[in-house]
Amino acid sequence: MPEPLTPGELLALDRQHVWHPYGPMPGKAAPLLVESASGVRLRLAEPVEGRDELVDGMSSWWSAVHGYNHPVLNDAAQSQLGRMSHVMFGGLTHEPAVRLAKRLVDITPEPLEHVFLADSGSVSVEVAVKMCLQYWRSLGKPRKQRLLTWRGGYHGDTWQPMSVCDPDGGMHELWQGALPRQVFADTPPAGFDAAPDEAYAAQLRELIARHADELAAVIVEPVVQGAGGMSFHSPGYLRVLREACDAHGVLLVFDEIATGFGRTGALFAAEHAGVAPDVMCLGKALTGGYLTLAATLCTAAVADGISRGALPVLAHGPTFMGNPLAAAVADASIELLLSQDWAQEVKRIEAGLRDGLAPARSIAGVRDVRVLGAIGVVQLDHEVDMAAATRAAVREGVWLRPFRDLIYTMPPYITGDGDVARICAALCAAAREG
């Protein structure tokens, strides 16, 4: 066993050596040191604001839908570990990957037929883009290599995904000029229940028609734009995109990395619109938050188009493609989800969030409060003071990670009513102090 390190030593080494997401080096704000996690609770190595345990309001960035240290997922991981944690996927295959692929094809919209197992969400988006560009090249239309999206989106941090993230979203502005130049429509008008705005629908149709010769695909997050701004829009716009893409020979990609596996109240957000994409990306909750894994699914038509090209293969193959450990846990996680009335649990949490966040509307500095499925958002009229907001939530015994002007929660589906109420109280406290 290595020499034990004190929490103080660990935090000092962390600051000195370890990058954190979107962080400076050396680090500025000290992260909380987590010792273990179980159910919906994170256990801290030393108390912060008098708390050594926090209710997790974030599901570790939308992923831990069943909570932590779940016996079923632990079993799946342990039993796979006893067989093999990894073998290469070139020339070899294995039961966990095959089972998972079959299951994903079974539960996603009908025409999606083929599965590429990637190692992170961003890579699955790279693969989706590569599929679309290569499809048109194979069909003799190499000019079709741009993408269209709407503003306010987020698709990951590698190169192609960055090019379709919100162009005014701060972080990516740095790369103007270096990134591929894509076609942007306005941010979709807000409101899941709002009637689709005809002028906005017309803008989408017009842009797709105008750029059809150079567009390989339209890529969007259906219904919920996550890390780009936590906003909800009418599913009607997805039908507009589907029709316009069909009319003008453009592929449609749904990035369901954040919305997949029930978060919005439907198993996949595409179901709210009753439309299917040509390509779909999944990630985040795919393994129940246990391991990194993502998937890009496509229709038989897309795969067939690619296979008709001069290079009749999809030239992509990450080292850890199809990782058996991650695939076994993903399969168990989906089975666990489907074995229970998950939709009822998400509805229950939705009701709890609506009740618990209602008081936030009257807090000074709050611009909007919105809830959809197991997603609750309090939007301020100013940039959140991260340190103050985090401290306020921790004092309430809750872990939240606000960004920009947004304080939000996406709790695990197993979160009990009392803990949902507590998370809401923490959001309100963070809104007041942040």
Binding site for ligand PLP (CB under 6 A): 120-122, 125, 154-156, 221, 226-227, 255, 257-258, 283-284
417 is catalytic: no
The backbone region for 177, taken as left when phi is positive above 0, alpha when psi lies in -120 to 50, beta otherwise, is left
* Tokens describing residue 68: 């932590």
Question: For ligand PLP, which is the closer residue by CB, 144 or 263?
Answer: 263
Question: For ligand PLP, which is the closer residue by CB, 221 or 419?
Answer: 221
Q: Could you give the CA distance from residue 301 to residue 303 in angstroms, rounded to a whole number? A: 6
Question: For ligand PLP, which is the closer residue by CB, 211 or 284?
Answer: 284
Annotated catalytic residue, options 135, 154, 290, 413: 154
Burial classification of residue 148, based on how many CB atoms lie within 10 Å of its CB (0-12 exposed, 13-18 middle, 19 or more buried): buried
Q: How far is the CB of 431 from ligand PLP (least distance, A)?
A: 23
Q: How far is the CB of 201 from ligand PLP (least distance, A)?
A: 22
Question: For ligand PLP, which is the closer residue by CB, 282 or 332?
Answer: 282
Question: For ligand PLP, which is the closer residue by CB, 257 or 349?
Answer: 257
Contacts of 1 (CB under 8 A, 6+ apart): none
State the Cα torsion 193-268-60-38 to the nearest 10°: 110
Q: How far is the CB of 77 from ligand PLP (least distance, A)?
A: 19
Q: Could you give the CA distance from residue 254 to residue 166 in angstroms, rounded to a whole number? A: 16
381 is catalytic: no
Q: How far is the CB of 284 from ligand PLP (least distance, A)?
A: 6
State the Cα torsion 403-405-410-416 to the nearest 10°: 120
Cα-to-chain-centroid distance, residue 61:
8
284 is catalytic: yes
Q: Could you give the CA distance from residue 89 to residue 28 in angstroms, rounded to a whole number? A: 40
Residue closest to ligand PLP (Cβ): 121
Question: For ligand PLP, which is the closer residue by CB, 255 or 396?
Answer: 255
* Tokens describing residue 425: 């109280």
Q: Could you give the CA distance from residue 144 to residue 394 in angstroms, rounded to a whole number? A: 50
β partners of residue 371: 376
Contacts of 138 (CB under 8 A, 6+ apart): 305, 306, 307, 308, 309, 310, 312
* Tokens describing residue 267: 């198993």
Question: For ligand PLP, which is the closer residue by CB, 51 or 233?
Answer: 233
Q: How far is the CB of 140 from ligand PLP (least distance, A)?
A: 31
CB 285 within 8 A of CB 261: yes
Q: How far is the CB of 255 from ligand PLP (least distance, A)?
A: 5
| Enclosing H/E stretch for 163 | helix 159-163
154 is catalytic: yes
Annotated catalytic residue, options 56, 284, 413, 419: 284
Annotated catalytic residue, options 255, 278, 405, 419: 255
Q: How far is the CB of 67 from ligand PLP (least distance, A)?
A: 19
Enumerate the active-site residues: 22, 154, 255, 284
